Amino acid sequence: MLNIIQIPVLTDNYIYLLHDSVSGETAVVDPALAQPVLEILDINGWQLTYILNTHHHWDHVGGNLELKQKTRCRIIAANSDSERIPGIDRGVFEGDVIALGSHQATIIETPGHTSGHIVYYFAKDEALFCGDTLFAMGCGRLFEGSAEQMWTSLQKLKVLPSLTRVYCTHEYTQANGRFALSVEPDNVQLQQRMIEVAKLRLLNKSTLPSTIEVEKATNPFFREDNSRLQKKLGLEDQSAVIVFTELRKRKDSF
């Protein structure tokens, strides 16, 4: 079994620590900071094997160099971002497979939030580490890509098996859900999800991971092909990309 530990850091970031007890190998996804990771490694008596970065933003790579120096781990990230990922050892491409013990992750390139953004998909473990591409009821802002590029990237995630757990890097769920409700006020599953999310946040608990299935039912950026949503936007029978572009635009100023 792949042991997954969620570490909340900064205002709303999550670092994920992955451990395979058979091989003893351990990976960390997007270490914004080194110290909280070192503490959990220490508590469990684990040695860090890899850092897996999804993209170059500081709140995803901030702990890279300190962790590398203290644990001698290897850093894996998109080859196209070799110049921007501190300490990178191995640059990966779409379709590459990396292994943590017997657990394998496929690299999926998802440009949009940044040009070199990648996600790590552990098919057998039904787990997706999607960085700032897909959020609960939302998606990443377009800093280095077009809406069409982001839409294309999200299509690659939308087709993953419905029970795949979605491990996003930020606790943006409640704010995203408020926007989702503004464009789909009649979506009953969305209404129910927001009640559950409110309960969790009141207790300061994490709302993640989500699943592909839940996102398909409640995330407007996965529902650009829904006719009622299109009608609400005044974009009936428009292409999915046009609807997606309008959604992203509205969310930016929501």
| Catalytic sites, residue numbers | 55, 57, 59-60, 113, 132, 170
Q: What is the rounded CA–CA span in Å between residue 154 and residue 146?
A: 12
25 contacts Zn ion (rule: CB under 5 A): no
125 contacts Zn ion (rule: CB under 5 A): no
Task: Sheet with 210-211: list strands edge to edge.
Answer: 97-100, 103-109, 118-122, 127-131, 165-168, 210-211
Task: Choose the stretch contacting Zn ion; rule: CB under 5 A; options: 35-43, 61-69, 126-134, 202-210.
Answer: 126-134
Q: Which is nearer to Zn ion, 10 or 198 (CB)?
A: 10
Q: Which is nearer to Zn ion, 52 or 229 (CB)?
A: 52
User: Which residues have CB under 8 Å from 103's CB, separation 6+?
Assistant: 2, 18, 20, 122, 124, 125
The residue nearest Zn ion at its CB is: 57
Cβ contact 5:17 at 8 Å? yes
User: Which residues have CB under 8 Å from 45's CB, separation 6+?
Assistant: none
Q: Which is nearer to Fe ion, 81 or 132 (CB)?
A: 132
Q: How far is the CB of 113 from Zn ion (least distance, A)?
A: 6
Cβ contact 19:41 at 8 Å? no
- The mark string for 54-93 relative to Zn ion (x by CB under 5 A, - otherwise) is ---x------------------------------------
**Residue numbers of the site for Fe ion (CB under 5 A)?**
59, 132
Burial 94-125, CB ≥16 within 10 A → b, else e: eebebebbebebebbbbbbbbbbbbbbbbeeb
Q: Which is nearer to Zn ion, 139 or 229 (CB)?
A: 139
- The mark string for 131-160 relative to Zn ion (x by CB under 5 A, - otherwise) is -x----------------------------
Interacting residue ranges for Zn ion, rule: CB under 5 A: 57, 132
